[in-house]
Amino acid sequence: MKRNIYCLISLAMAMFAIGASAQLQVRMDKDSPMRKLQLAEMLVTNFYVDSVDENKLVEDAIRGMLDKLDPHSSYTTPKETKQMNESLQGNFDGIGVQFNMVEDTLLVIQTIAKGPSQKAGIVAGDRIVAVNDTAISGVKMPRDQIMMRLRGPKGTMVKLSVVRREVADTLTFNVKRDKIPVKSLDASYIIRPGVGYIRIGSFGATTYDEFMTAVNKLKAAGMKDLILDLQDNGGGYLQAAVKIANEFLPKDDIIVYANGLKSSRMDYRANGSGKLLDGKVVVLVNEFTASASEIVSGAMQDNDRGMVVGRRTFGKGLVQRPFDMPDGSMIRLTIAHYYTPTGRCIQKPYKKGDQKDYAMELDKRLKHGELMNADSIHFADSLKFYTLRKHRVVYGGGGIMPDYFVPLDTMTYTKYHRQLVAKGMVTDAVLRFIDNNRKSLKRKYTDFSKFEAEYQVPESLIADIRERGEKKDVKPKDDEELKLTLPRLANQVKALVARDIWDMDEYFQIVNETSDIVKKGLETIEKM
C-alpha cells in the first residue's frame, strides 16, 4: 500500500509539471479512477502468472483510454515523438514518406517531393507491408521497430513490398535512402500574366518563410492576383497557417478561434501588416485538404477575402495540445474545436471510439456521389451561415464547402492509364529514360520555356511503357480506350521528365494545364 501511495504522489506531481498553468483536478480518494488504474497495474505487475513489461502495460492503458475518445487524440513513445516532428522541423535520413498506421498497416499519406520513395514510384495510398522481406503488416510490430527498418544512413538500399489498390500482385520497390529535405511549399510560378500560383503541401516550421520568399519572387515577376493551391494539404502547424492567412486579411479580422469545454476561447486575429491585402485570391481545395489548410480556407471564405474552388475539405477541426511526459513520450490530447470566423465548426461528425468508421468517411462520400455531384450534398438550415462582409451563404457541418464545386472526374484517366501508373510502369520507364538521356536533354533544352513549348514525348518512350504493361497483362480494352489514354499519358510523362530535369515548379506547370480544379480557379480569378 505504501508503494501505491508513493506512485499516486509521483503521478500527481508529474501531472502538475505537465500543466502547471492549468487547474488540474486530481482525485486521490479511495474511489478515484486514478487509484483504481494504479491498483490494476500493480496487481498485474506483482501477481500475473508470467513476466510483463510494466512500461508497456502503462502505454497500452494510455492508448486504450485515448482510443475511446476522438480520432485525433494520441500517444507516442519517445522515439515516435521524435520521428513525428522530423518531417515538419528538420532534415533526416530515410525513404521520404509521410504515413499513418491504419489497422496495423503502414499507409502512405504522401511522398516527400523528389524524395527517394517518390523517385522509386511509391504513391499516396500505397500500403507498405514488408521491409527487406520482413513483414510489418498484420504482425503487431511496434511503430518504432517499423521506423528503425525504414530509416538508415544515406545511400543505403531498402526493399519495400507494397500493396496498391487496383493491383492484384504485391509490388516491390528498391529505394535508396537519402537526406530528406523538409520543404513544405511544392511549387510557385506565374501561371498567367499577372496571376501567381503557389502550392503548399503542408504547414511546417519553415512554411511561412518559404511562402514569403515565393510571394516576393512572384511579385517581382508581375503578380497581382494569386491562386493558392491547398489540394492534398493535410495540415501541420497552426501558427504557420495563421501567419499565412494574416498576409491576406485586414487588421482585427478573425482568422480562426478555438473553444472547448475546459479551455477558454482563443481568437487568432490579423494584425494588418500583410503584404497581400490587395489583389484577387482563389484557394483550391479537395477532400484531402485538412486541419491547418482548412483554417486558411475558412478564413479567406468567411472574411470574403477570396473564393474557394474544388470539393468539400476533409473536416479535421480538433485542437490537440501536446503534453510532454518525463520520459520523452507525448500525449496529444484534443482540448478544443476550431471554428471559422463565422462560427462554423471545422470538425466533421464522429463517434467516440469508432476509428474505422471515421477512416472510411471519404469512401462514403465517393459512394454517395458527393465527389462527383454537388447536388448530392445536402445541408440542414441549421448549418447555414453568412460571410462577414458580403453575407454570402456558406455551410457548416464539417470541412469547408467551396464556393465553386469541381467534380472528381473519374474519366480523366482511363482504367488502362490508372493501371499503368499503379503498377509502376510509367515511373520505371521515365526513370530509365532520364538516366539514359539526361545530358542530351539538358543540352537541347537550356531553359524550361523552350522545353514546355517544343518537347514532344518520344513514341519510343510511350511504346516502352505499353510494353512494360503488356508484360504485366495491363492492356487497353479496345482502341477507343487507347485513344483516350495516350494524350493524358504523354502529358504526365512530359511533366515527370521536367521534374527530373528541373524541379516541382516545372512539374506543376505542365500538369496544372490539364487540371479541372486549376482551370476553374483561373476562370474564377477572371470573373472576380
Residue 410 DSSP label: T
Find, among 510, 504, 509, 515, the residue nearest to 492 by Cα: 510
Give yes or no: 56 in active site: no
CA distance 237 to 257: 15
**Residue 37: which residues within 8 A CB-CB, separation 6 or more?**
61
The C-alpha R_g of the chain, in whole angstroms, comes to 25
- Of 232, 302, 403, 500, which residue is the catalytic one? 302
Residue 187 DSSP label: E
CA distance 422 to 420: 6
- Of 74, 117, 184, 291, which residue is the catalytic one? 291
CB atoms within 10 A of CB 152: 14
CA distance 427 to 435: 12
Give yes or no: 316 in active site: yes
**Residue 491: which residues within 8 A CB-CB, separation 6 or more?**
510, 511, 513, 514
Q: Are 190 and 226 in contact (CB under 8 A)?
A: no
Residue 519 DSSP label: H
Cell of 355: 476509428
- Of 119, 183, 243, 316, which residue is the catalytic one? 316
Find, among 417, 419, 408, the residue nearest to 366 by Cα: 408
Give yes or no: 302 in active site: yes
Cell of 314: 476533409
User: Mind telling me the catalytic residues?
Assistant: 291, 302, 316
